[in-house]
Amino acid sequence: MQRIALTMMVALLATIPLWTNKIYYRDDLYRILDGDRSTWLSNGRPGTWLLQSLISFGDTVSDISPLNLLLGLLALSIAAVFFTERLRIPLAGFWSFLPPLFVILNPFLTQGMLYTYDSLTILLSFAGAMLASMVNRAKPFQEIVYTALILLLIQTLYQPGLNVYIACVALLVVSRLVNDQSSWKWLCGKIVALGIAILAYKLAMNYLLPVKIDWYSMKHSKLLSLNSDSLQVLINTIKAFSDLFLSAYPRGMMVFIGLPMLIMFSGLIVMVRNLKQQQKLTLSAVLMLFSAGLIVIIAIPGLSLALATPLFAPRMLGACSITFLFCFYVAVYSLPAIRSWLAGLSAILLFYHLVVMLVTFNTVVNDQRYQMEVMNQIKITLSAPAAQSIDSLAFIGQLNDAPEVQTNIRNFPIIEHIRMKMLGESEPWIWLALIKHVGLRLKAVKATDEMRVIIPRHYLAQGPDFDAFQDGQTMVIDFRKSGGQINKP
């Protein structure tokens, strides 16, 4: 209970900017204004649909933040403590509170935590994945069935939870070897359970779901074909995920990746030597140890490697929590003489992750506050007498960031991947959500090529953030002068 309480306290510290401010992530802003939860079904996530129905006590969702986030953090904290207790890491004193923090303090979890609704289901999926890896029954058949059922539930909440499961299984394999427990039979059961769960989920989504899977989910769930082009797709996927992962460790912070990996592979070699000295060394054990080290790295992008068009988003990389925990576990067991030093160095890594999370959350808060201020300026412009005939809005270009936001993104490039900019040339449903949020009854339309080249005789508004002019019954908001990056839809 003490470990759970401390882990939850650290989780609350890392997310202070979220539960003390109002965050409008793009998907959530639309749901908050519309109350629509049907998209979770068409996304192939009936578990999320059902969970949000139960929490909202109705057919439409209500804004109950930060309840979703707090419940998700509690679930993840409990699972982190139970999982790390199963590992029996030999640490004494206050260092024994350290292992669960590897799960909570993960820069890539920040994107999932930003969602008003999905923060619960994403974190619950990751928590369930850890618990699924720990299912241990005397009868192998029962263990496979229970594990497969939990994994099936996880997929109905958030499918990338399977990546966390794979990483946890890799870590538990090493733990079982260290503690002289049978490994191959146990591992085969976990692999079979994973295969059954994936197959059952695919069949259920295709034949039992009451709605048709939407184009977005279909696009990002297509398997990689076995042909000559597949290798290049796989290479591009690995490169994209690598660039995304490295964005959290700019410049000198690369030491937080290089050093744990070096210690991990060195530790695995030491483990092999120790097994040899204890006359327990077998070819099977060597293969299992080094395969686990490789798998726990591959698990970071996880099953996305098997997809033709994977989604490259930070929330997909939740498994890297277990990767860092794996490195720490191997280091502690292979180098017992310097456990306290290793724990101290790991505490520095975790503190860096805490800083990245706080900076990211604060950046998103400041970014959205600035965007809402600009949206209110647009509303004021629409109140002018000359704008009374306007019935729609169109955006050109992208609003530039506020100065403090630009500074944070330069220092921590991962923030650019995590946040979702709203004021600019993006999907029309985002414009509509923003327009509705400030209380306007207008349509959202895409800017035409003609609008981009118009030199208006009269501007409805001119300022450092945007120019506004009228084209027929549409008010065009031109952000190009603000200096932001211009992306055509």
Side-chain half-sphere exposure of 198, counting CA atoms within 13 A:
16
Those residues whose C-beta lies under 8 Å from the C-beta of residue 301, and which sit 6 or more positions away, are 163, 237, 238, 241, 310, 316, 317
pLDDT of residue 9: 98
* Cα 187 versus chain centre, distance: 27
pLDDT of residue 387: 85
**pLDDT digits (tens), the chain, 489 positions:** 999 999 999 999 999 999 999 888 888 888 888 777 788 999 999 999 999 989 988 778 888 899 999 999 999 999 999 999 999 999 988 999 999 999 999 999 999 999 999 999 999 999 999 999 999 988 999 999 999 999 999 999 999 999 999 999 999 999 999 988 888 999 999 999 999 999 999 999 988 888 899 998 999 999 998 888 899 999 999 999 999 999 999 999 999 999 999 999 999 999 999 988 888 878 989 999 999 999 999 999 999 999 999 999 999 999 999 999 999 999 999 999 999 999 999 999 999 999 999 999 999 999 999 999 999 999 999 988 888 899 999 999 888 998 899 999 999 999 999 998 888 777 777 888 888 888 888 888 999 999 999 999 899 999 889 999 999 999 999 998 887 654 444
Find the Cα–Cα–Cα–Cα dihedral 384, 385, 391, 396, rounded to 10°.
-40
Measured distance CA(41)–CA(27) in Å, rounded: 15
Under a CB-based contact definition with an 8 Å cutoff, are residues 70 and 124 in contact? Answer: no
Distance CA 37, CA 237 (A): 31
Nearest to 332 by CA among 164, 96, 107, 101: 96
Neighbours of 142 (CB within 10 A): 12
This prediction has a pTM of 0.93
| Contact of 107 with 13, CB cutoff 8 Å | no
With beta carbons less than 8 A apart as the criterion, state whether 168 and 83 touch: yes
CA dihedral 64, 67, 68, 74 (to 10 degrees): -170
Contact yes or no for 421/482 (Cβ under 8 A) = no
Please list the residues that pair with 396 across neighbouring strands: 478
Contact partners, residue 6, CB within 8 Å, separation at least 6: 97
Q: How far is Cα 44 from Cα 205, in angstroms, rounded to an integer?
A: 6
H or E stretch at 476: strand 474-478
Nearest C-alpha neighbor of 260 from the set 301, 314, 300, 288: 300
For the chain, what is the radius of gyration of the CA atoms? 25
Between CA 187 and CA 173 the distance in angstroms is 7
What is the predicted pLDDT for the residue at 489? 40
Is 398 within 8 Å of 479 (Cβ atoms)?
yes
Looking at residue 488, what is its pLDDT?
44
Q: Is 469 helix (H, G, I), strand (E, B) or coil?
A: strand
**Tokens of residue 289, six digits:** 């140890």
Q: What is the C-alpha to C-alpha distance for residues 66 and 284, in angstroms, rounded to an integer?
A: 48
